[in-house]
A and B are shown apart, each in its own frame.
Chain A
Amino acid sequence: MRFIFKTEYGQDINLAKHGGHVFWYSALMLLLLAAPWLFAEYWLAQLTLVLIYSVAGLGLMLLAGFTGLFSIGHAAFLGVGAYTHAVLTNMGVPFPIALACAATLSAAVGLVVGLPALRVKGIYLGIATLSFGFIVEEVLARWESVTGGNAGIHVKKPDIFGWVLDTGDAFYFLCLAVTVLATLGILNLLRSPTGRAFVAIRDSEISAQSMGIHLAYYKTLSFAISAALAGIAGALYAHNLQFISPDQFNILQSIDLLLMIVIGGAGSVHGAFLGAIFLITMPQVIAMSKDYLPAVVGQAPGLQGLVYGLVLIAFVLFEPMGLYGRWLKIRTYLQMFPFYRKGMFKRQKSFQKSDRLK
């Protein structure tokens, strides 16, 4: 068990709370920097995809995990970012400017979607974002002069003011840089007054309001930041696949993003990364285990959906804090050995928190 002796107020908001953090995150950073020389090309591509999904996951985590607004149409923002970036890149706009435009346009769209969020909440917001997702997908498919319709469009290699990133390694470093910046940005945001306001809104809108938090402003801001991150992820996603079509941004993608948040652990930045790792490695694990299963099960096209569904159900039932929550428990167990008690992380039922108010 580690006890931190605090001598300054600044220590409360330090990103690295103690030497252990500094050591382990530096080690992780070194590993990621050395990854192109350590892993084969295929695994590096998977790692790149994990980083891209993590950026989108960070955005959704901010919205769903920290502000308590669940979006069931987040793939729409991914799509807006991807298409903006693809169209601009194909017109010859350098990568950083195109990326900024993708993020800005996504954020603007997020603002528009955030507006109904001020009037509706809970499941109504879910349905509003769901509807919005369908509409965006349809627009992407029908606006053929710009998006190329259902045929999709090809995306050129990223070009940073004349420096073309045409190898997998270079693109990996680009994604790594964006991910690190996004993560630091989110961590910083969360320790700032704005981030605290988001968390307060999540925990109780009424008490947040009575503390002087302007609900409309912060909810819209949360939507905009979340959408901007999704837009950035979309831009990287477009480069990664080099080809985008509207059906990559459909409801199933939105649900995958949500799945990532829930399985990773809602309300933790680590959760976005753990969820992304889960989302990318799971299909590989399923593909590998196919040969060992009976043919009826192994060859069924719905196997992946079945496994996802079962994992999701299991997590909601038994580990609502997700993979990160499980890690916290393991860590506490090790730290406190042998004094860990079973009820330490017990969930409280909250029957009183009814939306129905009579």
Chain B
Amino acid sequence: MLFVQLVIGGIAQGCIYGLIALGFVLIYKATETVSFAQGELMMLGAFGGLVGMTMLGFPYWLAVLSAIAAMALLGVVLERAVIRPILGQPAFSVVMLTIGIGYVARGAITMVPGIGTDTQALPVPYKDEIWTVAGVVLNVEHMAVIGATAVLCVLLFALFRYSKLGIAMQAASQNQLAAYYMGIPVQRLNGIAWGLAAAVAAIAGLLLAPITFVHANMGFIGLKAFPAAVVGGFGSLPGAIVGGLVIGIVESLSGFYLPDGFKDTAAYVVVLIMLMVKPNGLFGEKLRKKV
């Protein structure tokens, strides 16, 4: 029973990692750049929800939706304002740029009077509820994370499989130049990819907030989503979720069965092993550079 509970806890945590990793992968596939600001976008999303619920007095769903929409807009604006001008520069410039965005987000949030420097709980309707199913104690907050991630995955799958926008994004990620020649507005799609990634990050933040708390440094969890993205293969959307689940479960089990200290490093040990054994990840494609 304990084992099942640990696994479910791990899956819930893994879903969060998976959602953040999904943001990395979306951005990577669209613009071939890696965003280190994903964790901070998640933090901003959680703060957005908090502001909506406590300061503006929105009902739960309205607050959630407005936070997601606001973050999506922020993602589009970020892409337009700072990412687009340096596309085509070495990949590391973008990494440093997004690290800078992360610093700014973290610093700016501490300047919001009243909420910035404190640690708050997000008042969600399902706070602290528990289900008991066949002797297993299930935390509703964890189940909400798992359920929401599943729904989001189905929606994203449908988007990429059936909608014109999703298919255009796939085309652009395979070959930008060819897609551009086919009349696909690649730059606009890049903006949309950033918006989508920011929205997914905001959802992750809103789901994580009831489990941990809302505070300025919650974005550091984004650093654990890198292992998730690598384990899954950096260019694969399902891989991101699977990688997140692997990392979450390993972390949860090693926290219980192994000595202190392994919980925090389990994700990194897994990713180092993965990089040595199979650098392209579970779902990554094997690419070789031609001259």
Residues of A within 8 Å of B108, CB to CB, are 302, 306
Contact with A along B206-226 (1 / 0, CB 8 A): 000000000010001001001
Contact A134 B102 (CB under 8 A): no
Chain A's nearest CB lies how many Å from the CB of B109? 7
Question: Which of A116-124, A229-237, A270-278 interfaces with chain B?
Answer: A116-124
Q: Does B265 contact A (CB under 8 A)?
A: yes
Residue of B32, B88, B117, B269 touching A300 (CB-CB under 8 A):
B117
13 CB < 8 A contacts A-B: A123-B234, A124-B234, A128-B275, A131-B268, A131-B269, A135-B272, A206-B291, A303-B110, A306-B104, A309-B100, A311-B100, A316-B94, A356-B287
Assembled-state Cα–Cα distance A307/B52 (Å): 27
Residues of B within 8 Å of A301, CB to CB, are 110, 117
Q: Does A351 contact B (CB under 8 A)?
A: yes
**Chain A positions near chain B (C-beta within 8 angstroms):** 64, 70, 115-116, 119-120, 122-124, 126-128, 130-132, 134-135, 138, 141-142, 206, 251, 255, 258-259, 262, 296-297, 300-313, 316-317, 320, 347, 349-351, 354-358
Chain B's nearest CB lies how many Å from the CB of A335? 27
Q: For residues 165 through 220 of chain B, which have their beta carbon under 8 Å from a beta carbon of chain A? A: 174-175, 216, 220
Q: Does B288 contact A (CB under 8 A)?
A: yes
Contact A309 B88 (CB under 8 A): no
Residues of B within 8 Å of A258, CB to CB, are 96, 99
Residue of B102, B227, B261 touching A127 (CB-CB under 8 A):
B227
Q: Does B255 contact A (CB under 8 A)?
A: no
Number of B residues contacting the other chain (C-beta, 8 Å)? 58
Contact with A along B96-124 (1 / 0, CB 8 A): 11011111111111110100110000000
Q: For residues 257 through 284 of chain B, which have their beta carbon under 8 Å from a beta carbon of chain A? A: 260-261, 264-265, 267-269, 271-272, 275-276, 279
Contact with A along B136-159 (1 / 0, CB 8 A): 000000000000000000000000
Q: Does B130 contact A (CB under 8 A)?
A: no
Q: Does B95 contact A (CB under 8 A)?
A: yes
Contact B34 A142 (CB under 8 A): no
Contact B111 A306 (CB under 8 A): yes
Residue of A132, A142, A296, A350 touching B268 (CB-CB under 8 A):
A132
Residues of A within 8 Å of B288, CB to CB, are 357
Chain B's nearest CB lies how many Å from the CB of A264? 12
Residues of A within 8 Å of B260, CB to CB, are 142
Residues of B within 8 Å of A311, CB to CB, are 100
Residue of B nearest to A206 (CB): B291
**Across the A-B interface, the 8 shortest Cβ-Cβ residue pairs:** A306-B107, A309-B103, A302-B110, A302-B107, A131-B268, A312-B100, A309-B104, A349-B88
Assembled-state Cα–Cα distance A135/B266 (Å): 9
Prevailing SS type, chain B contact patch: helix
Contact B100 A70 (CB under 8 A): no
Residues of B within 8 Å of A313, CB to CB, are 82, 97, 100-101, 104
Contact A309 B107 (CB under 8 A): yes
Contact B97 A302 (CB under 8 A): no
Q: For residues 64 through 107 of chain B, which have their beta carbon under 8 Å from a beta carbon of chain A? A: 82, 85-97, 99-107
Contact B275 A357 (CB under 8 A): no
Contact A124 B275 (CB under 8 A): yes
Assembled-state Cα–Cα distance A351/B176 (Å): 10
Q: Does B164 contact A (CB under 8 A)?
A: no
Contact B271 A128 (CB under 8 A): yes
Assembled-state Cα–Cα distance A124/B227 (Å): 10
Residues of A within 8 Å of B19, CB to CB, are none
Chain B's nearest CB lies how many Å from the CB of A244? 19
Q: Does B50 contact A (CB under 8 A)?
A: no
Q: Does B41 contact A (CB under 8 A)?
A: no
Contact A305 B272 (CB under 8 A): no
Residues of B within 8 Å of A297, CB to CB, are 111
Residues of A within 8 Å of B103, CB to CB, are 305-306, 308-309, 312
Residues of B within 8 Å of A141, CB to CB, are 261
Residues of A within 8 Å of B234, CB to CB, are 123-124
Q: Does B237 contact A (CB under 8 A)?
A: no
Residues of B within 8 Å of A70, CB to CB, are 92, 95
Contact A300 B91 (CB under 8 A): no
Assembled-state Cα–Cα distance A116/B268 (Å): 14
Given contacts A126-B95, A308-B103, A309-B102, 19 further A-B contacts (CB under 8 A): A123-B34, A135-B269, A141-B261, A296-B113, A300-B107, A302-B107, A302-B108, A306-B103, A309-B100, A309-B103, A310-B100, A313-B104, A316-B93, A316-B97, A347-B89, A349-B87, A350-B89, A351-B87, A355-B32
Residues of A within 8 Å of B42, CB to CB, are none
